[in-house]
Amino acid sequence: MSIAEYQSQKKPKVDNYLTHNRGFLSWALTLDHKRIGLLYMMFVLSAFLLGGTFAVLLRTSLLTPNHWMFPSDPAHDTQAKLFYNNMFSLHGAVMVFMFIIPAIPAILGNFMLPMMLGAKDVAFPRLNLMSFYIYCLGAILFTWILMGGILRTAFNIHLPFGFGLDTGWTFYTPFSTSKAEDGMVAGVLGAFILGFSSILTGVNFIASIHTLRPRGMTWFRMPLFLWALYATSIIQVLATPVLAITLLLLIAERLLHVGIFDSSLGGDPVLFQHFFWFYSHPAVYIMILPGMGVISEVISVHSRKHIFGYNFIALSSVALALLGFLVWGHHLFVAGQSNLVDSIFSLLTFSVAIPSAVKVFNWLGTLYRGSIRFTPAMLFAMGFILLFTIGGLTGLFLGALATDVPLHDTYFVIAHFHYVMVGSMVFAFLAGMYHWFPKMFGKMCNPAWGRFAAILLFIGFNTTFFPQFVMGAHGSPRRWATYPVEFQPYHVISTIGSYIMAISLITVALNWLAGLLWGKKAPANPWGGNSLEWHCPSPPPYDNFPTPPVVDDPYNLAAWEYDASIEGWVPRKSQPAAATGPAANRTRPVTH
Amino acid sequence: MNAMLNNLASGAWGGFWMPPEGSAMAGEVDWLFFFIYWICVFFFLLVLVLLVAFAWKYRYREGQPMLDAPKHNTALELTWTFIPTLIVIVIFFYGFKGYMHLAVPPPDAYEVDVTARMWSYSFRYPNGEQSNELHIPVNTPVVFVLTSDDVIHGFYLPLFRVKKDIVPGRYNKIWVQATSLGTSDIFCTQYCGQDHSSMRNHVVVESRADFVEWLGKLGGGGLPPVQRGKYLWETRGCQQCHSTDGAATGKAPTWKDLFMSPVQTMDGMHMADEDYLHEVITHPNIHPIAGFQPIMPPTEGLLNEKDVGDIIAYIKSISKNYHPALPAATGPTTGPSK
């Protein structure tokens, strides 16, 4: 045991945000961004568990061409198909609205954004808590309706108001307004409420980044994670209200038969698709941009290298946020919009390929001549780069008009967006969790199990989704409860892959749990990062920074050196010439 | 698995990536697919090789000094911005060119009207006859005019590489020119409720002579009423939900022994006589039947008065309550004898 460790044990119990005050109300009414981040984590990870469970069930039911889970008589045929339709609606809706959109901003963003700004909290702490409760309200309503449908179709259990929702997460009219199950209105209301949580978080982050940046942190000295969150917040604030309006119109159409979307009432069903994708395409960037921000942090810190091409990465986040608003029409290439509009949207769609490519090359440039540590966070980040490359490149087939026509609405599209949503966003989320876990909980996870989970998830993911590209190119449409026998081999391989993914994600959960319970105490700076959150003890004190931190280039990693006695990084005593001089000396963390 | 191996052996499955080419434009689409594909393979391998090489070469080793490296290189970064820009413009151009070919039918194309409903298709030919099976002549441009009776459906012919949504309230069009004889799939690609995954059909590509012969027989003209009613049951989508052998489909009552039997509806008991059958065929779901969802699509425009009469004749013919044979004579005969 080192002297430092011995001395830290002799000190009275450390006052940190977890121990500062106790009791249920101290959590339920907390205004602390760190605790709100953890509250979000419990709910968002529960949503991930729910959506993931149904992903595995969907894959399992697709093992055979005709739903082997139910007896093969005609009455059960109807039941099996309704069950499948409720399952895929639940999987998509829960994953999109309750997991992917809030995951990185609401958990990692809430926790890290004020700390990266050297601030005590976000700009509007009460709004932050309100946004969490709005999320809970929407999530509970949404889950109730969706689970009601599952229980009714699978077990004939009728929950009060558990009507079920069988529209998929896209609510396409006129199916949703005239034919779908009765949970449509309440389910859409749930999505509407969840949207407000997203808007309020966005407002809070924008205000925080504008007003709370400390002296010396100019826009181009912000960590790239903050650029990514800023770009994300712009989309959340500008696009989500359009979804809110659209969902209200949908409810009005269903209940009052207004005639906006339903062609039998004189409306236009394709208009709904324009409204819906005007939000939901930018929403794709709400999902992926924060992940890109995480990767920029992780790649730099774990390869001990200054990020390569900071300006290009920062501005490409903003470019993606803005260009993302101009491409929604590529979801309607076969819906019957005019050929001219199709062509314009195709051209605009290709514009988003460029900032995405720039980011990938810049991350590779960061690895060049680095000193790469294969930590779990780094392995997840490397998995991200490869899977995002595949996800991005396969987008070229779908952006090009002639090839999109046969591939649209097939499993090729399913594979493409899972490479972006899961292969990229979930890998980035896990990279971020492994990166910041020591900061959040003050404990280290066992890295061997983390590495094992990262490699296993990479294998499982490709086994699940690569066959879906081939199946889609051969013509298998999406959202099919049953299928011709020719497609069975692809489905079987894909299902096996989903089991591998499930095993690796359970490994991650156990790894975190073991880290929380029995993990080694984390040093303030276990990886040697230089953004401001690493200048603060682990876990952070209640009000974050005992002394105001002094701002430095967030990627000046040379300012730190490894101290084997605490298994962490400490400010370098003798500053090398490359470092930024006297300022860095004052950034001494308070522990040790 | 065996089905797949047989398909691979016979070539019916096509290549690893794409199914066989069944239309004139399939070659053009596939050419672009593989053009993009090899660009993707190149860039993926580039990223993979660089990632693995850097990860290996610059892995952390004990005691190794930090290497100097640039924080940015504007010339390099501009290069890797411009090269992808040029490539995507080229891809856009070929995608656009192919799409214009797919989107604009030749002015003399043969027209087939396609109507979709939950969960079947029907096809109407220029001679006014209708079928639930699609036959088209080979090497002839055919334009499909698509419309829906209820919700949005999809119309996808994988071997022909064409697809369009079928949107209620508008007429979407696509055209094909089949290049080889045979039968291939039609899939619905837009989720449309309970039986979306069963909304599959086939397109039969025939020689022009066979097509003309098939078209001539369409409509069941000249058949006696009972046979014509059976023909309509087969071709107008009735058989999707109504069985004629007493089997339960879960979607609608069987027609077997339906005539002159009591029917329990939400608004009371009805006797399935001719009037009742006429009413429920022309006004579907007017008396929702206990135990079934009211899902029958409208028949207006699909069936005319003679069609309804022939269907009723067919329903009667398969009922034990209908006695077409001359009954045995009863009672004495009066009147003048020869």
Domain ranges in chain B are: 9-56+73-103, 110-217, 225-317
Give the model's pLDDT for residue B334: 79
Closest in A304, A346, A357 to B92, CB measured: A346
Q: What is the pLDDT of residue B2?
A: 58
Please report the pLDDT score of residue A408 as a whole number.
Answer: 95
- Token code pair at residue A568: 């962490």
Q: Give residue B6's pLDDT.
A: 60
CA–CA distance, A487 with A467 (Å, rounded to integer): 10
Q: How far is CA A223 from CA A300, A434, B45, in A?
A: 11, 18, 30
* Partner-chain residue, chosen from B4, B58, B103, that has the shortest CB–CB distance to A486: B4
Which stretches does DSSP call E strand in A402-523?
none
Provide the residue type at B1 as one letter: M
ipTM value, please give it. 0.90
Question: For A212-216, A418-422, B9-13, B287-291, which range has the lowest pLDDT when averaged over its residues?
Answer: B9-13
pLDDT computed for residue B127 by the predictor: 81
Residue range B110-217 in CATH 1.10.10.10:
no
B59 vs A: CB within 8 A: yes
Q: Which residues, including other chains, have CB under 8 Å from residue B329's CB and lie 6 or more apart?
A: none
Q: Identify the burial level of A87 via C-beta atoms within 10 angstroms of its C-beta, where 0-12 means exposed, 13-18 middle and 19 or more buried.
A: buried
**pTM, entire model:** 0.87
CB proximity under 8 Å: B 150-169 to A: 150-152, 154, 156, 158-159, 161-165, 167-169
Question: In this predicted structure, what is the pLDDT of residue A173?
Answer: 87
Mean pLDDT calculated for residue range A140-169: 89
DSSP code for B114: E
> Is the separation of the CB atoms in A426 and A460 below 8 Å?
no
pLDDT tens digits, A443-470: 999 999 999 999 999 999 999 999 999 9
Question: What is the third-level CATH fold of B225-317?
Answer: Cytochrome Bc1 Complex; Chain D, domain 2 (1.10.760)
Q: How far is C-alpha B22 from the geometric centre of its chain's CA atoms?
A: 17
Reduce the DSSP state of residue B207 to 3 states and report it: coil
| Range 377-416 of A in CB contact (< 8 A) with B | 382, 385-386, 389-390, 393-394, 396-397, 399-406, 408-410
- Give the phi and the psi of residue A124 in degrees, each rounded to 5: -125, 85
For residue B302, pLDDT over 90 is answered with: no
Pairing mode of beta strands B153-157, B162-166: antiparallel
Q: Is the dihedral of CA B253, B257, B258, B264 positive or negative?
A: negative
Helix (H) or strand (E) holding B230: helix B225-235
Tokens 């889950």 identify what position? A143
Sequence-distant (6+) residues with CB within 8 A of B26 are B159, B160, B161, B179
Q: What is the DSSP string of A527-583?
A: S---SGGGGS-SSPPTTS-SSPPPP--TT-GGGEEEETTTTEEEE-SS--TTS-THH
Calculate what percentage of chain B has a pLDDT beyond 70.
95
Q: Which amino acid is at B242?
A: H
pLDDT above 90 as % of chain B = 49
The pLDDT value recorded for residue B11 is 63
Section B300-315 average pLDDT: 86
A317 Cα to chain B: minimum distance (Å)? 14
Tokens 């990632």, residue located: B51
Nearest-neighbour CA in chain A from B22: distance (Å):
13
Nearest 10 degrees: CA dihedral of B124, B125, B131, B135? -130
Quick one: pLDDT at residue B7?
59
pLDDT-based confidence at residue B289 (cuts at 50, 70, 90): confident
Mutation target to probe the A interface, by most A beta carbons within 10 A, among B77, B119, B170 is B77
Average of per-residue pLDDT values in chain A: 91
Residue in A337, A334, A198, A210 with CA at minimum distance from that of residue A279:
A198
CB–CB of B47 and A364 under 8 A? yes
Average pLDDT value for residue range A510-531: 94
Decide: residue A520, CB within 10 A, 0-12 exposed, 13-18 middle, 19+ buried. Answer: middle
Q: Given pLDDT bands bounded at 50, 70 and 90, which one contains residue A8?
A: low
| pLDDT-derived band at A154, boundaries 50, 70, 90 | confident
Check whether A61 has a pLDDT greater than 70. yes
**Whole-angstrom distance, CA of residue A465 vs CA of residue A423:** 9
- Looking at residue B4, its pLDDT comes to 56
pLDDT at B191 over 80: yes
Dist CA B173 CA B188 (whole Å): 15
pLDDT above 50: residue A591: no
Of A90-104, A577-591, B103-117, B270-284, least confident by mean pLDDT is: A577-591
Report whether pLDDT(A112) > 70: yes
**B150 contact residues in A (CB cutoff 8 A):** 174, 178-179
**Separation between Cα atoms, residue A93 and residue A98, nearest integer Å:** 7
- Residue A178's pLDDT is 86
Q: How many CB atoms lie within 10 A of CB A335?
A: 24
Please say whether the beta carbons of B181 and B114 come within 8 A. Answer: no
Q: Do A350 and B92 touch (CB under 8 A)?
A: yes
Which neighbouring-strand residues pair with B147?
B115
Read off the pLDDT of each residue in A392-411 and give the average, rounded to a whole number.
Answer: 95
CA dist B183 → A592, B12, B205 (Å): 77, 11, 6
Range from A70-79, A87-96, B304-313 carrying the lowest mean pLDDT: A70-79
Please give, rounded to a whole number of angstroms, the shortest distance from the CA of A379 to a CA of chain B.
10
Nearest CB to A336 within list B94, B161, B172:
B172
Q: A573, exposed or middle or buried, with CB in 10 Å at 0-12, 13-18, 19+?
A: exposed
Highest-confidence range of A129-133, A334-338, A586-590, by mean pLDDT?
Answer: A129-133
Test mutation, B10, B46, B47, B200, chain A, max A CBs within 10 A: B47
Between B172 and B332, the higher pLDDT residue: B172
Can you give the pLDDT at residue A589? 43
Residue among B123, B193, B110, B182 at smallest CA distance from B155: B123
pLDDT band at B284 (very low <50, low <70, confident <90, very high): confident
Q: Over chain B, what is the mean pLDDT? A: 88
Q: How far apart are CA A365 and CA A455, in angstroms?
A: 23
pLDDT at A587: 42
As to burial, measured by CB atoms within 10 angstroms (0-12 exposed, 13-18 middle, 19+ buried), residue B330 is: exposed
Q: Which pLDDT belongs to residue A584? A: 40
> How close A28 comes to chain B (CA, Å)?
41
Residue B92's alpha-carbon distances to A125, A556, B315, in angstroms, are 47, 41, 57
- Provide, rounded to the nearest whole percent, the portion of chain A with pLDDT above 90: 77
Residue B336: per-residue pLDDT: 73
| Among the listed residues B101, B254, B228, the one whose alpha carbon sits nearest the alpha carbon of residue B175 | B101
Only one residue has tokens 């090497």, namely: B139
Strand locations in A124-239, DSSP E?
Answer: none
Asked if pLDDT for residue A581 goes beyond 50, the answer is no
Query: Of A167-181, A464-478, A479-493, B220-234, where does mean pLDDT reach its minimum?
Result: B220-234
pLDDT tens digits along B10-69:
566 778 899 999 998 899 999 999 999 999 999 999 999 999 999 999 999 887 777 888
A539-572 confidence digits (pLDDT tens): 999 988 888 888 889 999 989 999 989 899 999 8
